[in-house]
Chain A
Amino acid sequence: MTGSTDRSDTAGNAPDADADADVVRRYVERLSAADRSGAVAVATSFIGEGRSFDDLLEQLIGPAQEIVGQRWQANEWTVAQEHAATAISEHVVSRLAERVHPERSAGQVVVTCVEGEWHSLAARGLAAAFEAAGWDAVTLGPSAPATHVGVYLNDVGPDALALTCSVPMNLPGARRLIEVGRRSGLPVLVGGRAFGPDDRRARTLGASVWAPTMGVAAAALESIDRFVSPAPPLDHPGATEHVRLEVEIARLVPELLEILKDRVQLVRDSDDVTLDQAREHIFFTLRFVSAALLCDDPTIVDDYVTWLVETLGARRVEESVVRRAIGAMAEHVGRPLPAAGAMLAANV
């Protein structure tokens, strides 16, 4: 297969949307049956119909994984089902990627997902897209710490670093990777849902390229600067508060848990697991706020609270309870950290 015709296919005659929706439905059925070979068969026939590898990632695997996430969010699937489905999709991607043979080596790119993220599906998909475009791509295992990646980059000396980030609370990890990549003189490509709908977060964090799709990522590698200077320090006001919040977070979480136990019926009984869940929600909320400060983008908090309301709603927690909890957090956090407090308060 040749990259250029595939790309023009994707851009030009949009394939029949209904037919695609049908393939996605059949594929998700195989995922929900934990039927690995069945999923491979659906994907193989998709490719067999003359569709490109980029299409496979963007029109089939991507939408299917989105449905998987929605089913978990709606409490229809357990987290175990979600993980098993993702593992099957990873298998599908690596199986079908083997069929794509690059004709040249344009250079080497290291692909990783950020620390804190353990699904490597997106990174594997991105690596496969790079391979299809003629690059040697090395995919690191999940949740790679930036310090280790930095050592690795200096040992291996690749031409570019590409990273994926799915959950906005992990964006501080993306910033750390951008810093180590650029310190090694590498252009850094970023992609994934955590970066939002446009290039603003990526630009703020110092990425060389924001790639909304796998195809864009592969094309961008051909034209970006090969050598990049170190990332300048972040100087917007929120960046300082981000650092303070990271330091304070270990103190704030238990304090907030006590406050929410007293004032909000978020913690319904003293059962350990429920307490654990409440603490996790608090912790995650603060990490989203921290990421929003770092990216100078309060919509990160807005989107998270919307998601939290829906997710807890599916588990029979009233929206008013969630909003009250956010309000109590805004008050407590806002005293030492006004920008963080304001971001929370906007969602009460």
Chain B
Amino acid sequence: MTEAGELGRGARLRGDPIHAAAIEQGLDAVAGVLNVRRAVAMTADWAARHLGEVALVDVLHGELGRDLISVTARRGQRDHVVRDGLLPHEGPAAIRRAVLAIAQSFDDDLGDLQGGLEPTDDAEGAVLGGDRWRWAAGAPLRARGDHIGTITVAGATPELPEGVLAALDRFARRVSVSIDNARLYEDRSRVALTLQRALLPADLPEPAGYELGAVHRPARSALEISGDFYDVFEVEGGWMAVVGDVQGKGAGAAALTGLTRSSLRTAASLSAEPEEVVLALNRAVLANGGDRFCTVVVAKLADGGQPDIRLTSGGHLPPAVVRHNGEVEFVRMPGMLIGAFSDPTLVEVATGLGAGDAIVLYTDGVTEARAFGEEFGEARLRAVLAESAGMPAQVIAERVAHEVSDFTGGALQDDLAVLVVSAAR
């Protein structure tokens, strides 16, 4: 209820409990949304529900703060009109004019709003002479000292309803912070790309004579960027399949992972010999400086599914060969950590892959997964693989990950990558 003697905008707002509760609810809903588009759409939706019959919210975002997103919402309508534009940065009045011009080109109905308002630092209302909209109110969205956008609402009643201006002002001041959070989030370095790649189903090439399957799960925390990776690419006379693990987590590991992947591809385009490729990688990691290491295992598959596979390991876990009859062999070979020695000892070993056999490359997220003081270990991996003989490559990869996640209780605690290559039957 309104307290006697206390008038003005704040008092009007307190006198209108629907607005006050609705404002809190609207702010809560937008508060955690870190996608600019969605935050803007939700703001427009709220304003059209509670303040005017139509609401137009425009926000500048993007690297230079010149990308414009503008959303029009109408009360009682589920679908909003979303427009994107690019603006010269000339301040609020220019934004407003440009937004209205864009909006109008989509919707004649919004023409009445043109010229009705020139936003200042506060919410402002005006009675319009238009046919459709009789009043309009606008408020700036401001954050970190900058004008980042505006909210405009309009209605068809003859007068500006009481309380609208105060509620708009209060909502706009606070929702600005949430929208600005989303803008900041959008600008952050795109480490999330690693996560996106890992979340989407594996997009693998289809070399003739082979079938590929892969699972890549970064560690649980979204901030810990995975150092595990896999890659498959064509080289002279065949294909190269790689699994590696860059030590550590975070931005440094992500950078080295990127370097490792590109070095491997570059080296493989110069020489398709596994040992040469791993040596070249070692040189690249050393040249990069820093004190991070990585391990990698490289398998060269012959063209057209011929049975020869040649492998070189740089300190990585031994790949497993799963015979179609259920036998499992771990291919052990010496090979030193990458990035630690200027002249590492490496060997190349050969194995054969008959029809229906598969080779499984994996990271320590598989064998070193822990639960109740025990490791998943090679024995359990061997048992899963023995049971998976002859299954499609993707199924084998997912089964390994599934067994590990069941072992640890549904969630994986560490990064994990599994790459399976099977020879066609």
Contacts and interface: CB of A to CB of B under 8 A. Distances in A.
B234 interface: no
B101 interface: no
Nearest to A167: B410
A183 B32 contact: yes
B41 interface: yes
A227 B39 CA distance: 10
Contact of B32 (A116, A138, A172, A184): A184
B379 interface: yes
B405 to A, nearest CB: 6
B379 A80 contact: no
Contacts of B394: 87
B380 A148 contact: no
Contact of B373 (A78, A120, A153, A254): A254
Interface residues of B, dominant DSSP: helix
A277 to B, nearest CB: 11
Contacts of B373: 254
A212 interface: no
A239 B41 CA distance: 34
Given A148-B198, A153-B35, A185-B29, A254 B380 contact: no
B202 to A, nearest CB: 7
Interface string A105-149: 000000000011010100000000000000000111111110111
Given A154-B34, A273-B383, A253 B399 contact: no
A184 B36 CA distance: 11
B32 to A, nearest CB: 4
B71 to A, nearest CB: 12
Contacts of A152: 192, 195-196, 199
Contacts of B185: 154
Interface stretch (A24-32, A279-287, A305-313, A335-343): A279-287
Nearest to A283: B409
B372 A279 contact: yes
A38 interface: no
B189 interface: no
A184 to B, nearest CB: 5
A185 B198 contact: no
Interface in B370-421: 371-373, 379-380, 383, 387-392, 394-395, 398-399, 401-402, 405-407, 409-412
Given A152-B195, A283-B409, A83 B35 contact: no
Interface in A219-276: 226-230, 249-250, 253-254, 272-273, 276
Contacts of B379: 272
A346 interface: no
Interface stretch (B92-100, B217-225, B255-263, B278-286): B217-225
A155 interface: yes
Contacts of B409: 249, 283, 287
Contacts of A151: 192, 195, 222
17 contacts: A80-B399, A83-B395, A83-B398, A87-B394, A87-B395, A115-B411, A116-B410, A143-B412, A148-B199, A148-B218, A152-B195, A183-B33, A184-B33, A185-B32, A230-B29, A276-B380, A287-B410
